């Protein structure tokens, strides 16, 4: 980056200086968060996805994260989601090459949806999860029940994560982010609401983290010498019976002990408490106009249930500080960073990296503006209208600063 404005603080300057993340070096400590792009129709990464992440890299971030790359066909949450396999390598290589040309690194967030899926077909009758029984997510698509994973299932899924990480490496990604939050499979193991197992993988918070830690170990063994392996967790799930900060402290300590290079601290659950992810109200239409009647009806119920929340900067900072106090592994602060002052405060509190989402969707070159002294604060209003945009033909964008380009989102990345 250019020489920093002399009026900027040493903490802000430090955030924009090169930084070693595990086995790689980033040009700064600011990471674009994984936010569902909606730019892989039929699972094919598009030129719109390439442009989205290229713009983040050109805007100055140290690393940009491609969201929700599934480890298998059954692991997808919805049909228009990337699956990390041989067919997607050529498309993702276009993306990572574009990011690298702009001087940034690229991270692949890899995940398995578990019981949280809206696929028209599965290879099994019911989706898998930590425990069997009623499937809350299934209310959205009529898949009312789920099966508890057996030990054989766990071994197979663990290998799927390893295989996906290797595909990401082949595709030119610099880092792997294991999604252990927001209600996906690994977080279903962490959650006391979802995980009611009676074996060594359920019960206490220490037991519930065992399978996610096994996945972390396996991915570290496969790629960890050359790629940082990041874990993203929910510090609290935000609904009755869900995971608490106390649970997250246990999980973070375990993931740290098992060698995670970085832990990204998020919150919330997609189905039960999406507002906790964003720290503000979820707008109407979040299910998307093309979704089923049942899904749209269920999201309307969530509209009625969500508490009155007013957005404020750094809305997850108090919870994150509790984990910072007891974990030595590098931690990334996420949640309401919209200004130079916010970056400075998170850096002063000892967080090694800053993760930003909506503010960069609103203005991909925000960091350049901060650096040049042209801005001190993002114009993002936290309206969350970018969230339902993922279901539009053009994919995720800021409703205030951009226009839809659906044509670009119909062109495969390598075409």
DSSP string of 392-414, one letter each residue: STT-S--TTT----TTGGGSBTT
Q: What share of the chain is helix, strand, coil (3-state, %, to 5)?
A: 35, 15, 50
**φ, ψ (nearest 5 deg) of residue 126:** -120, 150
DSSP, collapsed to helix, strand or coil, labels residue 149 as coil
What are the DSSP calls for 201-241, one per residue? Answer: TSSSHHHHTHHHHHHHHHHHHHHTTTS-EEEEEES---STT
Query: What is the bridge-based pairing of β-strands 133-134 and 128-129?
Result: unpaired
Helix (H) or strand (E) holding 371: helix 366-372
DSSP state of 343: H
- Alpha helices (runs of H) in 17-124, residue ranges in sequence order: 47-58, 89-101
- Class of residue 118 by CB neighbours under 10 A (exposed 0-12, middle 13-18, buried 19+): buried
Q: Which two tokens stand for residue 43?
A: 């699972």
Give the C-alpha separation, 323 to 93, whole Å.
Answer: 36
The phi and psi torsions of 251 (rounded to 5 degrees) equal -60, -45
User: Could you give phi then psi for residue 60, rounded to 5 degrees?
Assistant: 115, 0
DSSP state for residue 268 in the 8-state scheme: -
State how far the Cα of 288 lies from the Cα of 279, in Å rounded to an integer: 21
Max Cα separation, the chain? 62
Catalytic residues: 184
Q: How far apart are CA 119 and CA 76, in angstroms?
A: 7
| Residues 6 or more apart in contact with residue 260 via CB below 8 angstroms | 216, 229, 230, 231, 329
Give the residue among 2, 110, 94, 102 at the shortest CA–CA distance from 49: 94
């Amino acid at each position: 980056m250019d020489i920093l404005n002399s009026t900027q603080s040493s903490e802000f300057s430090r955030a924009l200086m090169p930084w070693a993340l595990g086995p790689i070096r980033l040009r700064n400590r600011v990471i674009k968060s994984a936010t569902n792009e909606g730019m892989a129709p039929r699972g094919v990464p598009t030129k719109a996805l390439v442009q989205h992440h290229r713009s983040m890299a050109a805007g100055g971030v140290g690393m940009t994260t491609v969201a929700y790359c599934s480890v298998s066909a059954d692991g997808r949450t919805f049909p228009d989601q990337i699956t990390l396999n041989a067919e997607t390598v050529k498309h993702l290589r276009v993306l990572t090459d574009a990011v690298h040309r702009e001087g940034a690194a690229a991270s692949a967030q890899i995940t398995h949806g578990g019981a949280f899926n809206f696929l028209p077909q599965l290879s099994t009758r019911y989706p898998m999860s930590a425990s069997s029984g009623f499937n809350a997510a299934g209310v959205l698509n009529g898949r009312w029940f789920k099966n508890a994973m057996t030990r054989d299932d766990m071994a197979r899924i663990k290998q799927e994560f390893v295989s996906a990480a290797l595909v990401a490496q082949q595709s030119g990604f610099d880092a792997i982010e294991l999604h252990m939050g927001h209600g996906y499979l690994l977080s279903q193991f962490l959650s006391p609401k979802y995980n009611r197992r009676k074996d060594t993988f359920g019960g206490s918070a220490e037991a519930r983290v065992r399978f996610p830690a096994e996945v972390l170990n396996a991915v570290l063994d496969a790629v960890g010498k050359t790629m940082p392996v990041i874990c993203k967790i929910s510090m609290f799930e935000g609904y009755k019976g869900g995971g608490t900060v106390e649970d997250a402290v246990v999980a973070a300590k375990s993931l740290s002990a098992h060698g995670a290079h970085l832990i990204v601290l998020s919150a919330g659950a997609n189905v039960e408490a999406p507002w906790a992810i964003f720290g503000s109200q979820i707008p109407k239409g979040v299910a998307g106009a093309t979704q089923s009647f049942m899904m749209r009806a269920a999201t309307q119920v969530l509209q009625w249930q969500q508490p009155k929340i007013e957005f404020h900067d750094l809305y997850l900072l108090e919870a994150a500080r509790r984990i910072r106090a007891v974990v030595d592994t590098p931690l990334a602060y996420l949640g309401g960073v919209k200004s130079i002052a916010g970056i400075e405060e998170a850096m002063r509190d000892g967080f090694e990296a800053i993760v930003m989402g909506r503010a960069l969707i609103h203005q991909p070159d925000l960091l350049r503006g901060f650096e040049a002294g042209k801005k001190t604060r993002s114009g993002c209003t936290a309206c969350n209208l970018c969230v339902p945009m993922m279901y539009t033909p053009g994919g995720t964008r800021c409703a205030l600063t951009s226009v839809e380009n659906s044509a670009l989102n119909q062109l495969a990345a390598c075409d």
